[in-house]
Amino acid sequence: MVKSRWTASGSRPTAGELLRLALAGEALLVLLALAWARYRSLPLETGSGPGVRDAVAGLLAAAAFAAVNHWLLCHAPPVRAVRAVRRVYRDIVKPLFAEIGVREVVVIAVAAGVGEELLFRGVLQPEIGLIPASLVFGALHTGGRGTLAFGCWVAVMGAALGWLAVATGGLLAPIVAHALYDAAALVYIRWGRDCGSVRGSSADPRRRDLPP
């Protein structure tokens, strides 16, 4: 939602605007999920085992997501889909979050973890299944042909989060995984040093094949 508004208007939202948009959007998802769960009598369980176990599972999943994402950005062979993901990161995601601070990182990550997991893994997945819910999750993170590969990567992460919900019997683990991964990604976007393949330096000489 934030990305679509920014690209449509051509102007970059301030950190405060991003924070308000994120809170409003995720609050809407929470309300929708709670209303849906109540109407359909769907249980929104935290998990079937100890909370510490599920939190650790979420932490490990977030670390795995971050490692794979870093590999895609910096080390994966520059096939078309990988180049497309790098373009989304370089041209859309990084400029969008260029001015956020620690407060925005924490609030946006936690809000996304709670809101999106309640909706997609909490109510949508039990209704239509893990794979369809993951595909919807990925589709809603796209904004045109240039973001299709990025949406596919998000769908894969959605499937992993859905499996985590099934494996732990609840939403605590995927919420922790989602929030921690988003926090790590935002920290890297805001303060991390981009690798050559993202910057388009000589570290990835084949980048000359990329369209403008």
Per residue of the chain (212 residues), give pLDDT as tens.
445 444 444 577 899 999 999 999 999 999 999 999 999 999 999 998 889 999 999 999 999 999 999 999 999 999 999 999 999 999 999 999 999 999 999 999 999 999 999 999 999 999 999 999 999 999 999 987 789 999 999 999 999 999 999 999 999 999 999 999 999 999 999 998 888 788 763 344 443 333 33
Predicted pLDDT of residue 49: 85
Give me the residue label for tokens 């309300």: 31
Task: Measure the CA–CA gap between 85 and 111, rounded to whole angstroms.
Answer: 24
Predicted pLDDT of residue 144: 78
Q: Are 116 and 137 in contact (CB under 8 A)?
A: yes
Predicted pLDDT of residue 4: 45
Predicted pLDDT of residue 202: 36
Predicted pLDDT of residue 10: 55
Closest CA to 87 of 204, 201, 198: 198
Task: Measure the CA–CA gap between 75 and 80, rounded to whole angstroms.
Answer: 14
pTM of the predicted model, to two decimals?
A: 0.88
CA distances from 193 to 63, 68, 74, 198 (A): 18, 17, 11, 10
Predicted pLDDT of residue 196: 79
Predicted pLDDT of residue 117: 98
